[in-house]
Chain A
Amino acid sequence: TQLLEQSPQFLSIQEGENLTVYCNSSSVFSSLQWYRQEPGEGPVLLVTVVTGGEVKKLKRLTFQFGDARKDSSLHITAAQPGDTGLYLCAGAVGDTGTASKLTFGTGTRLQVTL
């Protein structure tokens, strides 16, 4: 089983601050997905990155896939209370990024306060 480590595990910040969440592995992934999970709900996909070095932006969220496709980062600019949740990365192994080969990270719980 591939291991995906996320850091930090917990993060509590104030509204307006910037933050970065990391997702690291010793394995190479064909693609990597980021999900956000809110209390009482299932995870919801934010983005998929597939190319080494790829950067994708989703409003105030910036996602980067490492050049070697072993790691990824999520940067949030000017965090808002609505960003509160559990952030999960999920890496796909194999030639194609099929769902059956997804391995989830350990998660980063973010709390943004006023």
Chain B
Amino acid sequence: EAQVTQNPRYLITVTGKKLTVTCSQNMNHEYMSWYRQDPGLGLRQIYYSMNVEVTDKGDVPEGYKVSRKEKRNFPLILESPSPNQTSLYFCASSWGLDNSPLHFGNGTRLTVT
């Protein structure tokens, strides 16, 4: 089954404790992206990657890192999480071509206390 898999689904952590949210897709997609979803703000892009070893900042990259060492994986790293990073995070992938639909994971709900 074609899918985007994120782990974990839920995460509660404390300020400053480094964490990684994993994302994997099995559709051989070139393009992958991370979004955060907050009430009233819609989905905001954090980082995206057009291909292996090619990453770029989205609209809200501060406090986040990503890497794209393999085509299928695109982990999101929070080196020193802060409470304002409490949010619902989504990973998405697509072919990256004109009007390609985004395929989303089921989300990771992160709480930073």
Known: A1-B59, A100-B48. A43 touches B40 (CB 8 A): no
**A42: chain B residues within 8 A (beta carbon):** 4, 90, 92, 104-107
How far apart sit A78 and B67, CA to CA, in the bound complex (Å)? 46
> Interface residue count for B (Cβ, 8 Å)?
28
How far apart sit A21 and B106, CA to CA, in the bound complex (Å)? 24
- Total number of residue pairs linking A and B with CB closer than 8 Å: 70
Say yes or no: A102 contacts B102, CB within 8 Å.
Answer: yes
* 16 pairs, CB–CB < 8 Å, chain A vs chain B: A42-B4, A42-B104, A43-B90, A45-B101, A48-B101, A97-B99, A98-B97, A99-B33, A99-B48, A99-B96, A99-B102, A100-B31, A100-B48, A100-B56, A100-B96, A107-B42
- Nearest first, the 5 closest Cβ-Cβ pairs linking A and B are A42-B104, A45-B101, A104-B43, A97-B99, A104-B42
Please list the residues of chain B having a beta carbon within 8 angstroms of any beta carbon in chain A.
4, 31, 33, 35, 40-45, 48, 50, 56, 59, 90, 92, 94, 96-102, 104-107
